[in-house]
Amino acid sequence: MFLQLELVLHTRETVWFDFHGAEEWSLERLWTQNVLFDIREWRAGMDGAAECCAEWALDAVWTQKVLAGELALYEFEPSVGMGGYVVARAATMARTWEESSLQGVSIELDFLLKPGWKRTREDGGNHVVTGPAGPEFVSEIWRIAQFITYGDYMSLEKLDEAGHLYRLMSRARKSIGFQVTFRAVDAEQRLAATAE
C-alpha cells in the first residue's frame, strides 16, 4: 500500500515521492542511467485522464476507480531508462537541501531571470533578486517561485506596503530550505546601479 520513489535532481538534491494507497504500478526499463522529463498526475475530471488510462492499458477496475476520483494515475515520462505509472490514492513529495542545492538554486535563478533582473547572494547564502518595478513584478516572482520550488512547501510574504519587497521561503522536511528576497527597483535606481 506504500511505494516510495527516490530521485536525484540535476541540482544534486534528493527528492522522495511517496505514493500512499498504491494499488497498481508498472515501472519498466530500470537502468543504471534513468532520466525523467516529468511525473504527471491524472485525476477524475481532467481532460485526457481516460485516454491516459487506455494508453497504459490499465485494467478496467483501476480505470473506473481513477475516473470515479477514488484513485489517481501517476505517469512517468522518461528521457532515458525508467518509465511507467503508479495508481495510488495520493502522492506527497519531500526533498533535501544542502549547500550543493543552494548552488543549484543559483543556477536556476540565473537561467530564469529576464533582462533587467539580477541575482546576488547575501551573507548566510540567501539569494537577493532585483527586478524592475511595475505591474509585472509580482507575477514574475510567482513564475520564478513555481519553477524553483518544484511545488514544495513555500511561503511568499510581502514585506512592505508599496509591494516592492517580497520574501520567498521554500521549506524541505519542515525546515527552511532556502530563501530568496525580491526587490523592485525603479528606472533611476537601475541606471545608477549600471553606472557603478
Tens of pLDDT, residues 41-50: 999 999 999 9
Q: Which residue has the cell 530568496?
A: 180
Q: What is the pLDDT of residue 135?
A: 86
The answer to pTM > 0.95 is: no
Predicted confidence (pLDDT) at residue 81 exceeds the cutoff of 90:
no
Q: What is the pLDDT of residue 86?
A: 92
Backbone angles phi, psi at 140, to 5 degrees: -70, -40
Taking alpha carbons only, the member of 98, 84, 113, 125 closest to residue 9 is 98
Tens of pLDDT, residues 19-48: 889 999 888 766 656 677 788 899 999 999
| Distance between CA atoms of residues 118 and 105, nearest Å | 14
The confidence band for 55, taking pLDDT boundaries of 50, 70 and 90, is very high
Q: What is the pLDDT of residue 44?
A: 92
| Distance between CA atoms of residues 127 and 148, nearest Å | 12
Q: What is the pLDDT of residue 155?
A: 79
Please answer whether residues 74 and 57 qualify as being in contact, where contact means their C-beta atoms are separated by less than 8 angstroms. no
Q: Which residue has the cell 531571470?
A: 113
Q: What is the pLDDT of residue 37?
A: 77
102-119 average pLDDT score = 86
Tens of pLDDT, residues 56-74: 999 999 999 999 999 999 9
Instruction: Give the lowest-confidence range in 1-15, 55-69, 182-196.
Output: 182-196
HEC readout, 85-113: EEEECEEEEEECCCHHHHHHHHHHHHHHC
| Distance between CA atoms of residues 77 and 82, nearest Å | 8
Q: What is the pLDDT of residue 186?
A: 86
The confidence band for 162, taking pLDDT boundaries of 50, 70 and 90, is confident
